[in-house]
Chains A and B, each alone.
Chain A
Amino acid sequence: MISRSRIGRPLLYTSYGSDMGLFNTLSKKVSVALLILVALALPLILEDKWLSLLAICCVAAIGAIGLGLVTGYAGQVSLGHAFFLGIGAYTSAVISGDPDRRLLGLGITEVLIWLPAAGLVALLAGVLVAPLAARLRGLYLAIVTLGLVFIGQHIFGEWDALTGGTGQGRPPAKLELFGYDLSATDSAGSRDQKLFWVMALLLIVFALAARNIARSKVGRAFNAIRDRDIAAGVIGVNLARYKTVAFAISSFYAGCAGALLYTIIGWIEPSAFSLLLSVQYIAMVLIGGAGTISGAIAGAFFITLLPTLTRMLQPLIPFVSAEQTRIPNIFQVETILYGALIIAFLIFEPRGLFGLWIRVRTYWKTWPFSY
């Protein structure tokens, strides 16, 4: 009876347990189940080209959830996400790399080993940064993490044995589970089909874990720190500890995302881990909706698909050229779109894509009235 009467009244909670539940509304439960079903069925419908793009979206979403936890939930601005992504990518590449070649490699291609290792090494780096983060606030922290990106780029660019050097790069980790190659076409499916299934599954796991962190004691501590860190400290939240935890979890997510991302792309180039990459992840979190898991996922899909979408729309805008030497060309439009979208969302809909959804929901909830 109770669950029946709650349809259409998503904010009515009849017990503390349902308020704090993993899926605290029925529509959430239903829509998540539907989304998962659709995701499982997609590889049977879509072309491979789209599947590999969607697989990248899923991995980007893992990274964005990580940044969302530290920036959206705990309110600690980090422009250093690219650095942690890089650490994850190279850790996994070294563990699974060929030991006989010029580059560092241990030859362990088991995903169950290199994926957690990539996350843990990034986590360690995050914990090393955390003492600084615990002492600094707001924009000071933003600039320090920006410094991390530059220092990271220098190390990645110069340490040839690890990265292959600027302009050369190295192959990423091999995706094998118990000796079965998940990234090769065989009777079970094509490379992209299998990759998409794996990444979608991992996204579900990581998203559920993040949601559980967010609704637990740790998540409430994060929120308190974001809203007012001094007040949080006064009511007994250990600021240093929880800021460290926030950075640690976020870096772990970034490390895993970095490792997975390049198994799909197929080549790691050290100059990829630049400030622009960090800004893209910030854009994912902000455009999706800061402080929500679903928002981070939506933002990640949106930003990752944006280049492809603009390229598809290019024939409709006649004065924009598809060639790189002409001005204005599609690549410039794409970059401008990033900037313009960040500005527009922050000014007009600070809650991001998630906020747009809230607006739609409120419209139908109060229909036919406008309030």
Chain B
Amino acid sequence: MVELIEAVIRGLGRGSVYALLALGFVIIFKATRVISFAQPAFMLAGVVMVTYLVGPLGFWGALAVATILTGLLALGVERTAVRPMVGRPAFVVAIITLGVDIVVRVIVNAFIGINVRQVGDPWGLSTFNLGAVSVEKRHVAVLVVAALLVAGLFAYFRYTRMGLAMRAASYDQETALAQGVSVGSVFAVSWAMAGGLAAVAGTFAATGESVDGLMWLIALTALPVIILGGLDSLAGAVIGGLIVGVLQEIVASYQSSMPWLGGNVSIITPYVVMLLVLLIRPYGLFGTREVERV
């Protein structure tokens, strides 16, 4: 039982990272109807910036600056590679972001180099005890940060002018334009937000461990998460992220009792779950069914 509870808490920590990443995907999707495969690259870029800035600025300072810088990087990518493609099929734009991902990731990998780089977080692998259950502090930290960010984002979309504009543009771009919403700046803000979220998510994914180029696979796991939650549902992204994180950690804890599945089966759990959910609900758990006219 203790083992299960510990797995669930680890899963919530991991799931918070997925939730932040998935929110980035969903925000971009809602604004531009495109899935940005560049999120892994932004995540990696954010983490690497933190590892360089943590010396002079401390962990929180480095995190804040890296978040803003990654947001700006995402903004730049949106301006140069994605904006010229407005009105083209979503698939083509998605492939362009795949190209962006490859380019940015190679450059970032060069900055990782061969030395061990760490984000220098204050928690490391230290734990505290809750009765018989030992909890890693970093998992609680990411859960709290994710909760604050999610609450902030929902408030932003609900109460600010720009948030309203973004919601309007996600319903219907042309109508929003006609009401005086600057759809261009909606695109820009969405990409910048997604970039920033990816940087935060990446940094917390790297707490207690060292940064390497393979971390981008974590960001790809956010793809089954958004499919699970529904591509256009912010709440779905958060809930889907937590579900996938918890499931993954539970499978990781118990996979030794199912050796015929092979080692590391927890890595593909999200994809298997995604396939199963899609067989039953083609638009995910919380996604809206597309209604189309010919």
Contact = CB atoms under 8 A, between A and B. Distances in A.
B91 A340 contact: no
B91 A136 contact: no
Q: Which interface class (under 10, 10 to 19, 20 to 34, 35 or more) fits B?
A: 35 or more
Among B94, B99, B106, B220, max chain A CB count under 10 A is at B99
Interface string A160-202: 0000000000000000000000000000000000000000000
B210 interface: no
Nearest to A76: B91
A33 interface: no
B75 to A, nearest CB: 17
A147 B275 contact: yes
Given A132-B278, A139-B231, A151-B271, A336 B106 contact: yes
Nearest to A276: B102
Contacts of A151: 268, 271-272
B263 interface: yes
Interface residues of A, number: 44
Contacts of B114: 325
B133 interface: no
A138 B294 contact: no
Interface stretch (A24-32, A261-269, A343-351): A343-351
Nearest to B114: A325
B278 A136 contact: yes
Interface stretch (A7-15, A92-100, A327-335): A327-335
Main secondary structure of the interface of A (DSSP, over half): helix
Contacts of B231: 139-140
A306 interface: no
Contacts of A286: 95
A143 B224 contact: yes
Contacts of A144: 227, 274-275, 278
Given A77-B91, A147-B224, A338 B271 contact: no
Given A136-B278, A136-B282, A347-B96, A154 B101 contact: no
A282 interface: yes
A346 B91 CA distance: 11
Contact of A339 (B34, B103, B275): B103
A60 interface: no
Interface of B: 34-35, 81, 84-85, 88, 90-92, 94-96, 98-103, 106-107, 109-110, 113-114, 220, 223-224, 227, 231, 261-265, 267-268, 271-272, 274-275, 278-279, 282-283, 290, 292, 294
18 contacts: A135-B278, A138-B91, A139-B94, A146-B223, A147-B271, A157-B262, A159-B262, A275-B220, A282-B98, A327-B113, A338-B102, A339-B98, A339-B100, A339-B103, A342-B98, A343-B103, A346-B99, A347-B81
